[in-house]
Amino acid sequence: MRYTMRRDKWLLVILLVYFGLATGCGGGGAAGGNGATGSPVTAVALDVCSTATPVPNTYIVEVRTVATTESEIELEILAAADDCRLRMKGDIKRLFTNALHGFVAVLPEGEIPDRFFEDEHVSRVQQDVVANADDFVPHRLFVDIPVQQIPNGVRRIFADDPGLAARIDGTDGAGERVGIGIAIIDSGIDISHPDLNVSPLGVDFTASAAGANDVFGHGTHVAGITAALDNAFGVVGVAPGATLYPVKVLGDTGNGSLSNIIAGVDWVVANADKIAVANLSLHVSCPSPMLRDALRRAVAAGVVVVASAGNRGIDIFGPDNVSGTTDDQAPACFPEVLTVSALADFDGLAGGLAAGTTMPDDTLVGYSNSSRSLYPGTPWTPPGMAIDLAAPGYAVLSTFPGGVYETMSGTSMAAPHVTGAVARLIALRGRDFNLDGVVDAADVTAVRQTLVSGGQPQSQWRSGGSTLDPDGNPEPLVDARTR
């Protein structure tokens, strides 16, 4: 395992303590949200995102490594970080050693970030920027649900089909939980919620006093949609009882940073032997190549990455509808992730027959981002283009901190329906999905293609009515019966 303390590892730990670096769980990552600006990044520094709010004086630095062993790579990163600390009087906040090789540095006011490139081992630099939970709307709080409810979203994607292996019958008996590890990269999870199976192996990158525990509520709601227990009370998730790993990258007010997200992905890659799926119901207005590369490495490790499309009612490639420009909505815009839009469903059934609703039943909600084109180089073309699937994302009932329940709306709620469906499919067929003897990106692609091909076409959503798809590219609805 990664954290086994060999002799060279002890050397690394001694150096970390000596240089005062904060890494891993509880590291003092820069959480954004105050709108302040720091030293501007000049043209020499790469990956500038002009539409995002910068985290003051904070930079993500990628290091060019040549070593081949894990410990030697970490020492190379540490050496570059220490060079920055001494030469630029910067404060090194965090190291990345898995999904990205680099570190996060906070420079003194007025220090010129171009000076990073005086170190020949520095390959890329980007100013850190603010990230947020995808906008969501809370509706109604339920303190107690004494008899288990099957939420409309679970019913609408056929996850309650009695013929499925993960049958939903109100009992949480031995062997009936979906035995898959799922990372919720979000605001944490209520680790003591009685309706969730939360792993003690959680991590916090926000320096919250609550640790990986969720204060904001967003992550707990996402977690419940994904995998709430099938028991006698509360609600049930799409993949009941799956093991949930809280990866806290959004702080207790819902704000975080790009570097926090990369740190979360870095942690998932380090634990890819346990984690098969990762859910990111969040966004950063910055198509950071560093974030994309981190997600690529997660996929290469066999982790299926699911992301919410976003709630701005625009193309995920921004108002200019052009991929690779600064207004792209990440991570939804990246071809490595399975991107999910939001459906409004009010009765758990197809047909558009629910009456007296706030919007037409079985239609895409107006706030859900859309897609008119593909990211260049995408190896296959889903019917929804860069939006892979739709899932219920309006007035969804799920878990909430404090052992209670809440209804919320947003693509944040749609994505975990798909995450649960991914977990069920992997539980059925295994992580070596294509049976070639290795778990890698090819398996992730096969899982995605299987779910998209097995989804319910928009022509079956409503009886003779429009689904209000704004882009003419009809992504299907995820179907949990897909095998």
3-state helix, strand, coil in the chain (%, to 5): 25, 20, 55
| CA atoms 70, 17, 210, 413: torsion sign | negative
Strand partners, 246: 184
Helix 258-270 to helix 289-300 angle (10° resolution) is 20
Cα 154 to Cα 161: distance, rounded to the nearest angstrom: 10
Cα 185 to Cα 175: distance, rounded to the nearest angstrom: 26
> Residue 94, CB half-sphere, CA atoms under 13 Å: how many?
30
Cα 115 to Cα 44: distance, rounded to the nearest angstrom: 10
- Which of the following is catalytic: 208, 285, 288, 412? 412
186 among known catalytic residues: yes
412 among known catalytic residues: yes
Contact at 8 Å (CB) between 242 and 423? Answer: yes
Closest residue by Cα to residue 364 from 470, 282, 225, 473? 470
- Which of the following is catalytic: 91, 186, 190, 252? 186
CA angle 440, 293, 72 (to 5 degrees): 80
- Which of the following is catalytic: 101, 193, 218, 283? 218
Contact at 8 Å (CB) between 214 and 246? Answer: yes
Contact at 8 Å (CB) between 330 and 286? Answer: yes
Distances (CA, A) of 264 to 183, 363, 445: 9, 33, 22
Cα 400 to Cα 413: distance, rounded to the nearest angstrom: 13
The maximal CA–CA distance of the chain, rounded, in angstroms, is 69
For tokens 């390959």, name the residue.
123
Cα 220 to Cα 196: distance, rounded to the nearest angstrom: 9
Closest residue by Cα to residue 159 from 147, 167, 149, 169? 167
Contact at 8 Å (CB) between 275 and 303? Answer: yes
Burial of 70 (0-12, 13-18, 19+ CB in 10 A): middle
Bond from prior residue into 331 cis (ω within 30 degrees of 0): yes
Closest residue by Cα to residue 306 from 451, 136, 197, 166? 451
Active site residues: 186, 218, 412
